[in-house]
């Protein structure tokens, strides 16, 4: 049914069920009622209902009437129908983050939907840096501009403003996000964690609050067995400053994104941006991966790994 595109259409399922002869498969005496009467036909009916279930189609009174006429009240398809009627209504709202059934076809809308799923914070702003230019009807010219949609919350903006220009930020990607049967790819702008020596301890100034002290220095003399701070499962990651979804995964498009970001984050102009793009898997065009800096990629990544292992060792000791 997927070939005809009618797998979500209830009327079609009803018509399919209509194909069964009515009143032939009804059990007539008690022996027929004990055993499954016309088992293959019941299995066939069950298969139709199962396909309805997997596509999330809710059966209606017509279906009930048909099943009643075809198989009778005590048959397995009728039982399945009753179960579907009960559980579908109960499970309709079970997903706390529902994806809408009909996804938008416009890539910009799809990108906005995806970004809102990644960053549900209501104060984050979605900006469309570039709309996809329409394709020519002749199809000779390739679209040179792809859409670029980005999202950034005020907290991320503040963090980026605080970020020191000595440390680079990385554009990483593309990572995939599946929305039902569509896959969108996003890139993130992130920085590494500062090593503990350089980490700024946020000082709470003594005279901050007029009314009550913001920090109490009560030393209870806690020793090692009372220390609940360290959690072996929580890994601290570096801050993520912004996320974007773009049509193409090459450096040029992403550079346009960074330029767009620079309007709201002037600090970004001073910070070196390194593009770390991996080869995209899947449906879109193969992207060019490259680095801005002259260092070869494997050496950089090795250094990264060494840093990470060093940090882990420090954390564990």
Q: Which two tokens stand for residue 22?
A: 């009515």
- Which pairs with CB-CB distance under 8 Å and at least 24 residues apart come from 108-114? 108/132, 108/147, 108/149, 110/179, 110/182, 110/184, 111/147, 111/149, 111/184, 111/245, 112/149, 113/179, 114/177, 114/179, 114/184, 114/186, 114/245
We find the least distance from the C-beta atom of residue 266 to another protein, in angstroms, to be 21
* Of 94 and 218, CB closest to another protein: 94
Provide the minimum distance between the beta carbon of 119 and another protein in the complex, in angstroms, as a whole number.
Answer: 15
- Rounded least distance, CB 199 to another protein, Å: 17
In the complex, least distance from residue 84 CB atom to another protein, rounded to whole angstroms: 13
User: Which lies closer to another protein via its Cβ, residue 90 or residue 199?
Assistant: 90
Residue 130 Cβ vs another protein, minimum distance, rounded to whole Å: 29
Where do contacts with another protein occur on this chain (CB under 8 A)?
89-94, 122-123, 208-209, 214
C-beta closer to another protein: residue 215 or 312: 215
Q: Give the tokens for residue 46.
A: 């069950």
Least spacing, CB of residue 89 vs another protein, in Å: 6
Q: Which is nearer to another protein, 121 or 136 (CB)?
A: 121
The residue (of 12 and 82) whose beta carbon lies closer to another protein is 82
Question: Closest distance between another protein and the C-beta of residue 297, in Å?
Answer: 39
When the beta carbons of 98 and 294 are compared against another protein, the nearer one is 98
**Closest distance of CB 202 from another protein, Å:** 9
Starting at the edge strand found earlier in the chain, the sheet holding 169-179 runs: 125-130, 148-152, 240-246, 182-191, 169-179, 273-277
Q: Which is nearer to another protein, 158 or 285 (CB)?
A: 158
Closer residue to another protein (CB): 29 or 93 = 93
């Amino acid at each position: 049914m997927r070939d005809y595109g009618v797998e979500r259409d209830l009327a079609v399922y009803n018509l399919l069920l209509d194909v069964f002869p009515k009143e032939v498969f009804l059990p007539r005496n008690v022996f027929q009622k004990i055993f499954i009467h016309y088992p293959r036909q019941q299995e066939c009916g069950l298969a139709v209902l199962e396909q309805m279930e997997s596509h999330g189609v809710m059966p209606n009174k017509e279906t009930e009437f048909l099943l009643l006429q075809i198989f009778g009240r005590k048959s397995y398809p009728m039982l399945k129908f009753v179960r579907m009627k009960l559980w579908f209504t109960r499970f309709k709202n079970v997903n706390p983050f529902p994806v809408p059934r009909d996804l938008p076809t416009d890539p910009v809308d799809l990108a906005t939907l995806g970004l809102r799923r990644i960053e549900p914070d209501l104060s984050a702003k979605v900006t469309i840096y570039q709309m996809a230019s329409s394709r020519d009807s002749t199809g000779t010219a390739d679209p040179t501009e792809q859409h670029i949609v980005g999202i950034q919350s005020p907290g991320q903006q503040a963090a980026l403003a605080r970020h020191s220009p000595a440390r680079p930020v990385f554009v990483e990607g593309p990572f995939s996000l599946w929305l039902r049967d569509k896959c969108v790819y996003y890139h993130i702008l992130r920085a590494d964690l500062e090593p503990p020596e350089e980490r700024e301890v946020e000082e709470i100034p003594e005279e901050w609050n007029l009314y009550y002290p913001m920090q109490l220095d009560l030393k209870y003399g806690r020793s090692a067995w009372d220390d609940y701070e360290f959690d072996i499962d929580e890994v601290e990651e570096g801050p993520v400053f912004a996320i974007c979804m773009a049509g193409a995964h090459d450096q040029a498009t992403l550079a346009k994104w960074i330029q767009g970001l620079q309007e709201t984050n002037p600090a970004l102009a001073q910070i070196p941006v390194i593009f770390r793009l991996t080869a995209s898997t899947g449906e879109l065009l193969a992207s060019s991966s490259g680095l801005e800096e002259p260092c070869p990629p494997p050496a950089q990544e090795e250094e990264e790994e060494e840093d990470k292992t060093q940090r882990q060792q420090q954390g564990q000791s």
